[in-house]
Amino acid sequence: MNARTPNGRDPATTPVATTQLAATHLKTEADEEARLPYETPEGYTLSATLFNQDLAPTQKKGRRWSSYSIFTLWANDVHSLGNYAFAIGLFALGLGGWQILLALGIGAVLLFGLLNFSGFMGVRTGVPFPVMSRISFGIKGAQVSSLLRGGVAIVWFGVQTFLASVVFRVMLVAVFPSLHELDKDLILGLSALGWLTFIALWIVQVIIVSYGMDMIRKYEAFAGPIILVTMASIAIWMFTRAGGSIAWTTHNALTGGEMWRTIFAGGALWVAIYGTFVLNFCDFTRSAKSEKSIVRGNFWGIPINMLLFGAIVVVMAGAQFKIDGTVIESPADVVHLIPNTFLLVVACLALLILTVAVNLMANVVAPVYALTNLFPRHLNFRKAAIISATIGLVILPWNLYNNPVVIVYFLGGLGGLLGPLFGVIMADYWLLRRGKVNVPHLYTTAEGGSYHYRRGVNPKAIIALLPAGVVALTIAFVPAFHELSSFSWFFGAGIAAITYYWITDRNQSFTEASGEPIAVASTH
């Protein structure tokens, strides 16, 4: 058991008279330490091992993320090259135009609901995902969920930067053909031109993220319209190349039960793709102006934007199939066919802007908060961003991307555990607590704190997580369950939620306390 001072306070902090924390920006570590001795009504003080400027709840006043900000997140992420590859893959499997739209529509409706539930948690509490995880997993157990989410994101940050560098290389060689000579010999698995383009994009992203979440918000707002216009323009160009009509299906069009299974499997996989994002959506919505702004942003960004995305997919895939009977893998496959060098460069720049936007929102924010949560005394947003980006560089992600074992089993396996994490957190917050959270207690190590559980870990959350994770991974990777593999995220999330709700005392009472007394001004 942890020792405490006679008055029940945490000895890791200095007890003083009850005071409210000022909302001014923390400029030095000394300023931060001076603000920690806030006391809860029970006499617990905040701990520097759990609290800093970036982990603190945000004040409700001054939050900047509007419905447009939320919309532009999806305007960028939905139109990522990886999503196009997935959706065009449905065409290759034998789904026709309306069937692809239906599959994406099913996924969009489910995502709209899940993201609203996840987003409301952020706007109500004002805390990032690692702190949110403390509610169900405990002040120490939350490290498991945040590091799991952050670890997957760091690897994908490197991989996505590499994929963007490939587009960059295509653009440079098109403009300066002599650079092709630099794209031959390999150095640690990458050509000299590959290294130059990768490092250049890496630096750009580090600079953007070093200015914090508000700069990410501004970049997403800038990139969103560019991406929508570019993708729509490419689709229109391909439609004209195909003579004003498209092929609605391939020669191996699916029918009957197999068609419907593929449609629902496609919708389920569409949700699974966003399994990471539904988990830490609160990292963004903690700075949202209201719940209405989340709903509006999600509505235009998910079902409406996804239908536009689906229409572009159908036109691109159908036009190319009509032209030469082949199925493209992504928009990047057709960009190099643009006959005008200037337009080709513009299209490549748009794809670069897109990939950077997706990387920033999906693969930078989560590891930054995970690292900050791990070392709150020593790391802030900028330092953690540089560290996570550096890890994404030194792992030589192109080698990992070219290794199917790593991508499918390691990253796929880690990703398969995110469904159970989501199930536990949602069941705890919405079903058991009904949204009642004592926010100041999320930052105290006192044994009497609401989220101390057993030495900082909630064993019931772990008990619910483990079997659900085993089931999800079994369904995802064991060949005998191939027909169900598309639904592994739902199995994992559902089993974890039901198990946690069943084994937890449902008659216990929960206290609710606002985080406003310890909140900091929203600079996000």
Domain ranges across the chain: 63-398
CATH number of 63-398: 1.10.4160.10
Q: What is the pLDDT of residues 400-431, one digit of tens each?
A: 888 767 666 665 666 678 899 999 999 999 99
Instruction: Specify the residue for token string 């991974």.
Output: 473
CA 425, distance to chain mean position in Å, is 16
pLDDT tens, position by position, 425-451: 999 999 999 999 999 999 999 999 999
Helix, strand and coil content of the chain, in percent to the nearest 5, comes to: 70, 5, 30
The C-alpha atoms of residue 226 and residue 203 are separated, in whole angstroms, by: 22
Number of Cβ atoms within 10 Å of the Cβ of 259: 15
Rounded to whole angstroms, the Cα distance separating 517 from 524 reads: 19
Contact call for residues 22 and 349 (beta carbons, < 8 A): no
Helix (H) or strand (E) holding 316: helix 305-324
Which residues lie below 8 Å from residue 339, measured CB to CB, with a gap of 6+? none
432 near 424, Cβ under 8 Å?
no
* Dihedrals phi, psi of 288, to nearest 5 degrees: -75, 150
Q: Is the dihedral of CA 466, 471, 477, 480 positive or negative?
A: positive
- How would you write the pLDDT of the chain (524 residues) with one tens digit per residue? 333 333 333 333 333 333 333 333 333 344 444 456 577 777 888 999 999 999 999 999 999 999 999 999 999 999 988 889 889 999 999 999 999 999 999 999 999 999 999 999 999 999 999 999 999 999 999 998 888 888 888 988 998 899 889 889 988 988 899 998 998 888 899 999 999 999 999 999 999 999 989 999 999 999 999 999 999 999 999 999 999 999 998 888 999 999 999 999 999 989 988 888 899 999 999 999 999 999 999 999 999 999 999 999 999 999 999 998 888 877 877 777 788 888 888 888 998 999 899 999 889 999 999 999 999 999 999 999 999 999 999 999 998 888 767 666 665 666 678 899 999 999 999 999 999 999 999 999 999 999 999 999 999 999 999 999 999 999 988 889 988 888 999 999 999 999 999 999 998 999 999 999 999 988 75
**Which bin fits 56, alpha (ψ -120 to 50), beta or left (φ > 0)?**
beta
For residue 43, what pLDDT is reported? 80
Report the pLDDT value the prediction gives residue 504, as an integer from 0 to 100.
95
